[in-house]
Structure 1
């Protein structure tokens, strides 16, 4: 430190603070949000912290300063987190007869309350789904008020709830649905639905999940003062505690299922969170297996937020994953994956 200039001393101070926060964030996926709800907010900015550590690494490296060791150590410890928010390359796609495709999409009630000024959103969504032609379609924040018809699907399960504002979830399938149900969350408008689908000779279970929202506006022009910041952090902390309970209910329900499972939907939390880790268990994340780039699923203008997922049982081979972040008809983007159920030998 003695040989550092004033600027470098200030830079190293912030480097140390960042390193400490990053180490805390590394531990948070293993700690229940009820224990440290305020600190859980750090999981949302984990990608930014990794990038800033990388910036510091190159900053010290270019000056041949030994302070580079701190950022190098932090980054190397967290290297396994890197694939959760950025993939340098996907998979070479080989299409086979037994493949099937799954789409998950939070449609924000098809814009029935006109949050977006764009016209004909419901028609655009229907046309987009038809163009992608997924075999199984999971929709969160579904609305019957929009009178949307996905006519290519013979089988469906739609669950609506609420009094004044009716919202729900839907699973559409080209394969027969032989059983269906829901996981009800206490004191929440959010829930989970599932469908057992007969696919050729096999039966699989598909969950569509929608966890408690943090209610953070993506509007970067909104003025944030100290009081507003405290309110946002308090709201997020409460949401993460509710999500913990919801994730535990999902985990318990999954443990009772013996079918190969697919979990789709909007977790309203990052891939670095306790909630994500709790639901994922030993499943594969389709983005990590076959995605490319940031896999952005939520419409923050300058931040590649990934809060929507398709998780698959290890009995599935993930052959492709795509996030359509140029299709802006909701505050979320649709995601798709191509899968093949491995045959037991």
Structure 2
């Protein structure tokens, strides 16, 4: 440290701060959010910490300074996290008749409140679904008021709430649904539903989840406006909202995990988790399942429109008794604040 220039000393101090925050973010997935709810926000920006550590590593490497060890060690320890953020290659295999496809899509009420200034969004989404033709379709923020006709699906499980504009979640299936249900945390928003589906000789339980929203704007410019305005009340409201959202997500996760433990069938979990792949919620819901993006996806796997940051908060998980043959995030389809995701699965022989 003594041999460093004054500028490099400042850089190294920032390097240490980022390193400490990165280590904290590594640990947080193993700690319940109710213990450190505000610190849990660090898991949302862990990829940024990894990128900054990479830049620090290169900075010291070009100068042949031993300070590179600090960020190098952090990156080495976090190598398993990198695969959750970016996949360098996909493992797509040939399609077979026994395969089946699963799509998850937060449709944002089919745009009935015209958040997107385009006509007939519901019909456009319907055409997209018909074109992709998934065998099982899980929809979050479903609305019957939009009158989107999904009659191609003979079997369905729909659970709605509300008075004037009813919203909820739906599971549509080309295979018979013989059992279904929902469970909701009274103090938490959104819901979790499930359906037991018979596919030939196999039975699958499909969960469609929509966890509590953190309600952070997808527009970075709007966030910056909040930062620029020194308003203690607004800041306190933001912190309170984030803290409460993480606690409610933890409650919903606990209910889901306990319900899943009682299930004897292979499981598929789809939906909008409203949290990152580096979170406590993700770690506990994924548990012993495969993350279909990690198994067969490519690139960032972005599922949510957040300016300048490829956020992945929508997931499809599948039991290890199923082979993940392909995965795709349709980032070119801009008709909700989320992107649809779809995977192709088959049961292992």
TM-score normalised by structure 1 residue count: 0.97
Equivalent-residue separation in structure 2 for 1:92 and 1:206 (angstroms): 23
Question: Cα deviation per residue 1:247-275 (whole Å; 9 max; x = unaligned)?
Answer: 00000000000000000000100011111
Mapped partners of 2:165, 2:221: distance in 1 = 28
**C-alpha distance in structure 1 between counterparts of 2:284 and 2:221, whole Å:** 34
- Whether contact under 8 Å (1:41, 1:233) holds in the other structure is no
| Distance in 1 of aligned mates of 2:245 and 2:49 | 22
Return the offset for 1:59: 1.0
Asked if 1 retains the 8 angstrom alpha-carbon contact of 2:286 and 2:317, the reply is: yes
> Match for residue 258 of structure 1?
264
Q: State the match for 1:268 in structure 2.
A: 274
Aligned partners of 1:234, 1:49: CA distance in 2, in Å?
Answer: 24
Matched residue, 1:198:
198
TM-superposed CA distance for 1:7, in Å, is 1.7
Instruction: Determine the structure 1 residue equivalent to 2:291.
Output: 285
Q: Does 1:101 align with 2:101?
A: yes
Query: Is 1:305 aligned with 2:311?
Result: yes
Verify: 1:342 aligned to 2:348, yes or no.
yes
Paired with 1:326 and 1:318, the residues of 2 have a C-alpha distance of 23
Distance 2:124 2:56 in 1: 44
Whole-Å separation in 2 of the counterparts to 1:59 and 1:107: 43
Who is 1:17 aligned against? 17
Structure 1 residues 107-126: aligned runs within 5 Å? 107-126=107-126
How far did 1:11 drift? 0.9
Give the 3-state SS of the residue equivalent to 1:182 in structure 2. strand
Change (3 A) 1:285 1:226: farther
User: Which residue number corresponds to residue 137 of structure 2?
Assistant: 137
> Which aligned pairs between 1:172-211 and structure 2 lie closer than 5 A?
172-211=172-211
Q: Return the alpha-carbon distance in structure 1 between the equivalents of residues 7 and 45 of structure 2.
A: 26
What is the CA distance between 1:235 and its match in structure 2?
1.1
* 1:26 pairs with 2:32: no
For residue 242 of structure 1, the aligned residue among 244, 248, 273 is 248
The separation in 2 between residues aligned to 1:217 and 1:164, in whole angstroms, is 25
SS of 1:49's partner is: helix
Q: Which residue in 2 is equivalent to 1:329?
A: 335
SS in 2 for 1:145: helix
TM-score by length of 2: 0.96
CA shift, 1:158, in A, is 1.1
Question: How many pairs does the alignment contain?
Answer: 343
CA distance in 2, matches of 1:151, 1:340: 25
Q: Secondary structure at the match of 2:181?
A: strand
- Report deviation, 1:30: 0.3
Task: Give the secondary structure class of the aligned counterpart of 2:113.
Answer: coil
Note the C-alpha offset of 1:229.
Answer: 4.1
CA distance in 1, matches of 2:299, 2:80: 16
Shift of 1:165: 3.5
CA RMSD of aligned residues (A): 1.1
Distance 2:249 2:144 in 1: 26
Q: Give the gaps of 5 or more residues in structure 1.
A: none
- Structure 1: how far apart are the matches of 2:57 and 2:330? 32
Segments of structure 2 that go 5 or more residues without pairing to the other structure are: none
Deviation, structure 1 residue 170? 0.6
Q: Distance in 2 between matches of 1:162 and 1:211?
A: 17
CA distance in 1, matches of 2:105, 2:236: 31
